[in-house]
Amino acid sequence: MLIREFISEANKSQMIKTLLKKYKVGNVRVKMKSMKEHAHYNVDTGTLELSTRYKTIKSSQVKQFLITILHEIYHAMDSKKYGWKKFKEMYEMEMNYRIAKDQDEYKDNKFEIEAEDFGQKNWKKWNSKFKKEGLI
Ligand SMILES: [Zn+2]
């Protein structure tokens, strides 16, 4: 069995493209950005930011990569569902609500909890699919 140490940039892009299309957020605004996280949904601008920092990713990082992408895609799906400006308002209200309740504005944020659940629930399915396709 072939164990790959690195996932190429082309394969990484292919996975992102497949996921955006599958979850119908292919037309969300995407920006390439140098950052530590693999991806980040910018609530303030309604933009899905993808990291340019990792040209390739290690096989050991695939799980985190998939969870992060799926988590951020979930935000993009919410944004598409409500309209990004409305979603920005809802997100800010949720943050203020958590602060008022003396909770954490991110960790206890319902949008963050839902997005993380989505990532945790779906990454394995995509991991198997991408493995079968020889992408990872
Ligand atoms: Zn999030």
| Span from the CA of 37 to the centroid of ligand 1 (angstroms) | 11
Rounded distance from Cα 60 to ligand 1 centre (Å): 22
Q: Which residue has the tokens 């930011």?
A: 49
Q: Identify which of 19, 12, 18 has the alpha carbon closest to the alpha carbon of residue 62.
A: 12
* Residues, CB-to-ion distance under 5 Å, ligand 1: 112, 115
Residue 33 CB burial class (10 angstroms; 0-12, 13-18, ≥19): middle
| Residue 56 Cα to ligand 1 middle (Å) | 23
Separation of 4 CA from ligand 1 center, angstroms? 29
Question: CB under 8 Å to 75, separation ≥6 — which residues?
Answer: 41, 43, 48, 111, 115
Each residue's pLDDT expressed in tens, for the chain with a length of 136 residues:
456 678 888 899 899 999 999 999 977 888 988 998 889 999 998 899 988 887 788 888 899 999 999 999 999 999 999 998 999 999 999 999 999 999 999 999 999 999 999 999 999 999 999 999 999 8
Compute, in angstroms, the gap from residue 115 CA to the centroid of ligand 1. Answer: 6
Q: Among candidates 110, 41, 50, which has minimal Cα distance to 73?
A: 41
